């Protein structure tokens, strides 16, 4: 079981947090706030698709961090022969109760707050809905290339979660769009 005190005192986690803070030039006064965000994100019920789900319940076999993809595009972003592709990474793909989900971490500061209406505005403003479509197609192709029958996609795709980590609590900061 993970509790806040053990997170703050856990040697490997503590080292990783301090190392990351130093890399990104984040003042040490923010360490406790960062630990609170990490702890809340891992242990709180912030996902509307299942009241029992917590990120801390995922096993290594049920998740993939930074899933790399290439998406065909008309713009010359990456060239492979005569084809052009956009290269990207999906922050987290995970499987929960037989369904696949995409989780995208957002660190945006939202002046209007982190309630659903503010998240919807940010999603439109930053075109995360376009990102949703690209990520969904890429996950579909990735699963199909690994043997998932095409007819299973609608049953197997759970949806996408945008997790606005600066405002994540049990009542705000998490936006879910069902697949």
Query: How many Å apart are CA 127 and CA 95, to the nearest integer?
Result: 25
Phi/psi at 138 (5° precision): -65, -40
One of 50, 60, 91, 104 is an active-site residue; which one? 104
Q: Are 66 and 93 in contact (CB under 8 A)?
A: no
Task: Count CB-CB contacts under 10 A for residue 168.
Answer: 20
Tell me, yes or no, if 152 is annotated catalytic: no
CA dihedral 129, 134, 140, 145 (to 10 degrees): -170
Q: Are 4 and 39 in contact (CB under 8 A)?
A: yes
Question: Coil, helix or strand for 169?
Answer: strand
Q: Which residues belong to the active site?
A: 104
């Amino acid at each position: 079981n993970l509790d806040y005190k053990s997170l703050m005192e856990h040697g490997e986690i503590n080292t990783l947090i301090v190392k990351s803070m130093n890399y990104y030039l984040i003042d040490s006064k923010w360490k406790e706030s960062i630990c609170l965000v990490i702890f809340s994100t891992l242990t709180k019920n912030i996902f509307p698709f299942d009241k029992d789900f917590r990120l801390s319940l995922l096993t290594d076999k049920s998740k993939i961090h930074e899933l790399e993809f290439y998406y065909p595009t008309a713009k010359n972003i990456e060239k492979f022969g005569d084809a052009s592709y956009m290269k990207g990474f999906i922050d987290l793909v995970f499987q929960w109760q037989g369904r696949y989900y995409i989780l995208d971490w957002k660190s945006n500061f939202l002046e209007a707050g982190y309630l659903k209406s503010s998240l919807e505005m940010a999603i439109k403003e930053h075109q995360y809905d376009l990102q949703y479509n690209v990520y969904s197609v890429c996950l579909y192709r990735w699963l199909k290339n690994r043997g998932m029958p095409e007819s299973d996609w609608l049953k197997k795709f759970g949806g996408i979660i945008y997790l606005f980590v600066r405002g994540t609590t049990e009542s705000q900061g998490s936006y879910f769009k069902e697949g």
